Amino acid sequence: MIVIGEKLNSTLKAIRPAMEARDSETVQDLARRQVAAGANYLDVNAGMFLEEESDILTWLVETIGEVTDVPLVLDSPSPEALRAGLKVHRNGRPLINSITGETGRWEAVLPLVTEYDAGVIALCMDDEGMPEDVDGRLAIAETMIRGLTRAGVQPGDIFIDPLVRPVSTGSHYGVVALETIRRVKEDHPDVHIACGLSNVSYGIPGRKRMNQAFLVAAMAAGMDGAILDPLDTDLMDFVCATEALLGRDAYCMNYLKRHRSSQKEAALQKG
For the chain, what is the largest distance between any 2 Cα atoms, rounded to a whole number of angstroms?
58
- In the complex, what is the shortest distance from the CB of residue 93 to a copy of itself, in angstroms, rounded to a whole number? 31
Chain contacts with a copy of itself (rule: CB under 8 A):
167-168, 171-172, 174-175, 178, 200, 204-206, 209-210, 212-214, 216-217, 219-221, 237-238, 241-242, 244-252, 255-256, 259
Give the residue with the Cβ less far from a copy of itself, 95 or 239. 239
- Say how far apart CA 188 and CA 195 lie, in whole Å: 16
DSSP code of 247? T
Give the residue with the Cβ less far from a copy of itself, 112 or 134. 134
- In the complex, what is the shortest distance from the CB of residue 225 to a copy of itself, in angstroms, rounded to a whole number? 18
Asked whether 56 and 44 are in contact (CB, 8 A), the reply is no
Give the residue with the Cβ less far from a copy of itself, 151 or 204. 204
Give the residue with the Cβ less far from a copy of itself, 105 or 182. 182
Using DSSP's 3-state secondary structure scheme, residue 113 falls into helix
Asked whether 122 and 148 are in contact (CB, 8 A), the reply is yes
Give the residue with the Cβ less far from a copy of itself, 49 or 238. 238
Does an H or E element contain 32, and which? helix 24-36
- In the complex, what is the shortest distance from the CB of residue 70 to a copy of itself, in angstroms, rounded to a whole number? 26
Quote the Cα angle for 108-54-39, to 5°: 90
- In the complex, what is the shortest distance from the CB of residue 149 to a copy of itself, in angstroms, rounded to a whole number? 29
Nearest alpha-carbon partner for 5 in 38, 29, 49: 38
- In the complex, what is the shortest distance from the CB of residue 105 to a copy of itself, in angstroms, rounded to a whole number? 30
- Say how far apart CA 178 and CA 167 lie, in whole Å: 12
